[in-house]
Amino acid sequence: MRHDNFKFIDSEIKRFNSMNLSSVHAHNEFSDWSREEYRRMLGLRNMPAPETHGEVMEESGVPNAVDWVAAGYVNPVQNQGSCGSCWAFSATAATESAYAIKHGKTSLYKLSEQQLTSCSSSYGNGGCNGGWYYYAWDYTKTYAQESESNYPYTSGSFGVTGSCKYNATYGLVKTAATDYTKVSGTTSAMQTAVALKPNSVAIQADTTYFQTYSSGILTSSACGTNIDHAVVVTGYNVSSTGTGYWIVRNSWGTGWGNKGYVWIGQASGAGICGIN
């Protein structure tokens, strides 16, 4: 079975790399996974879109390029493992960066994804079975997020949500009622928002086009627009050929993509991979 899975992905990689795309595709740890195993990590399935607080629109005068990773406001890439907790990693990374941007680089805490995974079910999340970063932030309005060192991540090994072990004594960061808002789905509005801080976004990631990404820029409609995975936009730039792209932090470890990152091309409508 593993060999058959690998052969299928190998044929897809060869097909993509023969198409003169702006992206390069290669094998990674998912090459022998079944489609069911792979999709288990995609934790936004069948989640209703929540109400949001206001909307960010485009503004003039935003920078031509932004990179919060290079600026030192983004923690290293992590690996969610075989748990559909992408939403918890997206919410946590965005919170960590926002807090550090407001309070200084020395306040770049490493917060606990496990706390969100195990403790926020009453707010609408389903642990390893999926959730929303919105619901995670609703939870942290009441329960301050602990550090990862106090509440380490364990769900990735076996895909088990785990029981809540929250300890308020160790809570570090809470979310205010107006700390998050919707961003209008245009490139200029998203640039306005990302110029302020990294943003949580939802994309479609269940295609082999996305799974086998290694480097370059995803610009094909083959990525789809049916969102099922949460990630974080940590910046944007323009390639040497004039293609605008988003710098996106994934939560599949540094062995996937470009050291854990993917560049997604900027486009109108729903956007590449539905990122808009």
Q: Supply the residues annotated as catalytic.
A: 86, 229, 250
Tokens of 47: 């989640």
Q: Count CB neighbours of 253 within 10 A.
A: 17
Q: Which of 206, 227, 156 is nearest to 35 (CA)?
A: 206
CB 110 within 8 A of CB 152: no
Tokens of 232: 């974080």
Phi, psi dihedrals of residue 26, rounded to the nearest 5°: -155, 170
Residues 256/160/225/124 CA torsion (nearest 10 deg): -140
CB 157 within 8 A of CB 171: no
Q: Cα–Cα distance between 143 and 112 in angstroms, integer?
A: 12
Q: Cα–Cα distance between 55 and 151 in angstroms, integer?
A: 33
HSE, side-chain direction, 13 A CA sphere, residue 143: 22
